Amino acid sequence: MNLPPNPGTARGRGRGSKRNEEANRGLAPQLGQAPHSSLLAGNESSGGTGDAQVEKTKLSDVQVRMSEGDPRGSMRGRRLITDVVHSRPQGMTTKNGVSGNRITVQTNYFKVLKRPNWTIYQYRVDFTPDVDNTRLRRAFMHEHRSLLGGYIFDGTILFCTNQFQAVQNSPYALELVTKSRAGENIEIKIKAVGSVDAVDAQQFQVLNLILRRAMEGLNLQLVSRNFFDPQAKINLENFRMQLWPGYQTSIRQHESDILLCAEIAHKVMRTDTLYNILSESVRDNDDYQTAFKRAVMGMVILTDYNNKTYRVDDVDFKSTPLSKFNTKEGDISYVDYYKKRYNITIRDFKQPLVVSRPTEKNIRGGNDQPLMIIPELARATGMTDAMRADFRLMKAMSEHTRLTPDRRIERLRMFNRRLKSSKESTETLKSWNIELDSALVEIPARVLPAEKILFGNNKKFVCDARADWTSEFRSSSMYQHVDINRWCVITPGRNLRETQEFVQMCIRAANTMKMNISKPIYDEIRDDRNGTYSQAIDNAVAKDPQIVMVVMRSPNEEKYSCIKKRTCVDRPVPSQVVTLKVIAPRQEKATGLMSIATKVVIQMNAKLMGAPWMISLPLHGLMTVGFDVCHSSKDKNKSYGALVATMDQKESNRYFSSVNEHMKGQELSEHMSLNMTCALKTYREHHGTLPERILFFRDGVGDGQLYQVVNTEVKILKGKLDEIYKSAGKTEGCRMAFIIVSKRINTRYFANNRNPVPGTVVDDVITLPERYDFFLVSQAVRQGTVSPTSYNVIYDNMGLSADRLQILSYKMTHMYYNFSGTVRVPAVCQYAHKLAFLVAESLNRQPSSGLENQLYFL
C-alpha cells in the first residue's frame, strides 16, 4: 500500500532535527488512525541546549493522574517525558563565579509576569467516522467552544480548564455530534486521560502549546516545528530561493522566573520543485534516472498543500501519478486523489514518484508503509554543497540572515509588540491568565580577564577584543617548533613552478618565526588521478619524511579522500594537502599569499608536535579531554566518535587521539572508557604518573540524551577511571569534571546593543535551577550576532570552584592550532570534531595507531 501524504502524515526530518512524532498517523483511512501532533512530544523548538527544549520529567517528579483503561492520548502513551537531569550538586550554595569585570547584558528573553495557577485536564478526542484532516477536526471542535471554555486542541489531544464527568455507563466524558459539509453526522467522543497542575513540570509543555496557539494570531505559517512569515519573505530571484523570517520560541523555568526565549530564525525555501530538478536531469544527462536519484536522495522536501516536510529515501521510476493506491473507499489514482482532496491538477502523468520511507519509530508503531510523493508538488528545501560553495549566494543570504545585535533586538521587540497587539493572540494569552513583559530581560554578567598568549623567547601578547593574534607571528617565533629537515612535496608536473614558489614562501615565513625548513624533495606526477597520487605517496613514504605536502589542482572530495586514506591508514605519515587555487591564486588575489604560507607552516608545525603558542595554565598534571560525534553524510548508517586528550599542556605538547565507529545515529559512546584507558596509559608512559585532574568536555549531546550520558557514559567512565587510579595506589580515585558543551542553543545576549566581548560569562537568571551551568562567549565575530556556548557541569569532584572552571574553560578556547584566535568551544572539543569529521567524510575507517600522538587531522 503506497500512499500519498496528507495533513497529519508528515515525517519531518530536517538536517540536525528529529523526525516528527506524527509520522504516518492518519495516513491510512481504512485503518481508522487519527492524526497525532508532534507538539506533544516535548520538542517545542529546534533542539538546542539551555533554552531550546521543553524539559522532560520523570513520573516520580510529576504527579499525573491517569484515568484507568486506555492510556492513548496521554503524553506519548505512558512515557510521560524524559527525566530532568539534576546536575547541580546538593549543598552547592552558588554556581556563580567572581572573577572579571561586572557588566549588565540584555538577553533574548521575556519574563512571564503572571504565573499560571490552574489545573489543566487532558482528554483524548476520537471522531466517528474518522476525520483525518487536522484542520477539519479543529473546526468541528471550535463549534463547541462555548461548552469547552478555554482549550487547546491539536487534532487528537484536548487540554481544557473544565473538568467533565464521565457519562454513566460510558468511558467518555463527553459525546458530541456535529455535521460535515456533506450533511453527514460526525460523533465526537472525548475521554479523560489525565491532568496537569500548575506545580507540575509538565505545565511548561502546555505553556508552550498556548504560546504557539497565540502565535497563530500573527498570521505566521508553521513549517516543520517553527513559525515563519511568508508575507515577509525575501526573494533571491537570481538563485531561485526565498528566505522566510520567523521565530523559535520556548518557555521554561529558569533560576527564579518563568522566561520566554525568542530567537530570530530563517527558513531557506527553494522555488524550484523536484520536477524542475528532474527536468534538468533529463536535459543534461544520458542516464537521467541515476542523475536524478543522486540529486534528490537524502533531500528534505516541502509539500505546499499541507505544509509538511519529508526526507527523500528513493525514487520509484515504475510508479507514476496514474498509479493507484488503496483506500477504504476503494482504489484511487494519485491524479484523482489530489484533484478530489486538494483541487490540485497534476500536469505530467509520466513523472516518477518519490519515496519517503517510514522511520524505525514509525515501524514500531505499526506504520510500515512508504509515502509516495509527486515531484511536481514537492519543493526542495535546504542548501546543496554547490550552493554553499557559491560565494555570491552566501553573501546575498548573509545580508538578511546575519543580523547585527541592534537589528536582532529590534526584531525581538517587534515580535513582542505583534504578540501584544494581535487581538487573537492577546485573547488566547488572556484566557489562560498569561501575561508577557514588554522588555527584554537584563541580567548580570562578567568579562573574564584577558588571556596572555605565550610565544618563543618569553614574548607575551595580551589578547584583546579581536581575540586574534595572527599578526603577532610577523615578529614572533613559535612557542615550540620542530625543524623540518626531511619532507616531500607531491605536485602535478605542469604546476611545479607555482608549487616551488609557494614552498619558498613557506620557508621564508618559517625563518621569520625562527623555524628551519629545508628544501623538500619534489615528486612531479604526470596526472592527477587517484592511483597516481597513491603511488607517489608510497614512493615518498619510502624516503622516511617527517611530513608530506600534496598539491591538488582544485578542491576535489574524492581525491582528498584518496590522499588522506593513504596517509592516515595505509602509509601513516603526517600530510598537508593544499590546492593551487589557494597557493597560486590569480594576481589580483595574491596579496595575502604570505599570510597563507604562515598559516600552513603553523599547521605543519602543530602536526609534528610543535606548539605554535601557549597560554599560562595554573594547574600541573591536568589532562583535558574532548569528545565529539560526527555522522557520515555518505552512509547514513555510520557515525564516528572521536576522543582527543592532552598530555598536560603545561609541560608537554603531546596529544592522544582515538576514533571509533558507532551504531546508526548513535551519539552516546560505548568506547569512551576504553579510549580513556589508552589515553591514561600514554600519559603515564610520558610522565611516569597519572594526571592529577581530568577535565572532560563532551560535545554533541542534546537535552534528551543528558539522562543517558549521566547514567551511562559518566558512570561507566568514572568507575573505570577509579579502578585504574586505585590500582595505581591513589585511594581517593580519579578527580574529574565532566562538562557537556552545547553550541546549538537559542540563547543570545548583548552588551549596549553590541556583541559582548570574548570572555563574557553569564551564570545566573537565564541558567537553569537544576543544573550547574553557565554561558560563555569566547570568540569575536565580524558579522551578525555572536552565539554563546552552553557549559553544563554534570559531574565534578575536581575540587575547583565554579569560578576556576569557568576560567579554565575559557583558557582552553585559545588552544586550537588551526586558527590563531579563540574558538567557540574548548580546543580539545574542536580537535575531536575535526578528527570525527575527517573519518566520517574521508576515511570511513579507523586511522593508523601510529599517528595517535600527533594532530595529523588538522
| Percent helix, percent strand, percent coil in the chain, to nearest 5 | 30, 25, 40
Are 158 and 151 within 8 A, CB to CB?
Answer: yes
**In 43-148, which ranges are E strands?**
101-112, 119-128
Give the C-alpha separation, 691 to 622, whole Å.
6
Q: Any residues with CB less than 8 A from the CB of 332 and at least 6 apart, and which? A: 324, 325, 340
Give residues with Cβ within 8 angstroms of 334, minimum separation 6: 4, 320, 321, 322, 323, 324, 325, 346, 353, 372, 374
DSSP for 465-503, written as a single string:
TT-B-GGGGGT---SB---B-SEEEEEEGGGHHHHHHHH
Cell numbers placing 644: 582527543
Please give the Cα distance from 769 to 791 (Å, whole number).
14
Of 154, 200, 648, 699, which one is the catalytic site residue? 699
Of the candidates 696, 796, 772, 803, the one whose C-alpha atom is nearest the C-alpha of residue 449 is: 803
Q: Tell me, what amino acid is at 741?
A: V
The residues, any chain, with a CB within 8 Å of residue 455's CB and separated by 6 or more, are 461, 472, 476, 477, 478, 479, 613
Q: How many CB atoms lie within 10 A of CB 105?
A: 22
Q: How far apart are CA 429 and CA 214, in angstroms?
A: 7
Residues 245 and 265 sit within 8 Å (Cβ to Cβ) = yes
Kind and range of the H or E element at 777?
strand 773-777
DSSP 719-736: HHHHHHHHHTT-TT---E
| Residue 87 grid coordinates | 546536575
Looking up cell 552558588, which residue turns up? Answer: 94
Q: Is 152 left (phi over 0), alpha (psi -120 to 50) or beta?
A: beta
**CB hemisphere CA count around 36 (13 angstroms):** 22
8-state DSSP, 358: P
Q: How far apart are CA 371 and CA 311, in angstroms?
A: 10
Is 628 among the residues known to form the active site? yes
Look at the block and give the residue holding cell 603526517.
574
Bond preceding residue 129 cis, omega within 30 of 0:
yes
In angstroms and rounded to an integer, the radius of gyration of the C-alpha atoms of the chain is 29
Where do the DSSP E strands lie in 328-435? Answer: 330-333, 353-356, 371-373, 378-381
Phi, psi of 358, rounded to the nearest 5 degrees: -70, 150
The dihedral built from the CA positions of residue 444, 450, 451 and 453, taken in this order, carries a sign that is: positive
Catalytic residue among 83, 523, 628, 703: 628
**Residue 509: how many CB atoms within 10 A of its CB?**
23
Collapsing DSSP to helix, strand or coil, 607 comes out as helix
Helices (H), 609-714: 672-687, 706-708
Number of other residues whose CB lies within 10 A of the CB of residue 663: 10
The beta-strand segments (E) located in 7-141 are: 101-112, 119-128
CB atoms within 10 A of CB 750: 22
311-344 as b/e, with b when 16 or more CB fall inside 10 Å? bbbebeeebbbebebeeeeeebbbbebbeeebeb
* CA pair distance 139, 147, nearest whole angstrom: 14
User: Which residues are the active-site residues?
Assistant: 628, 699
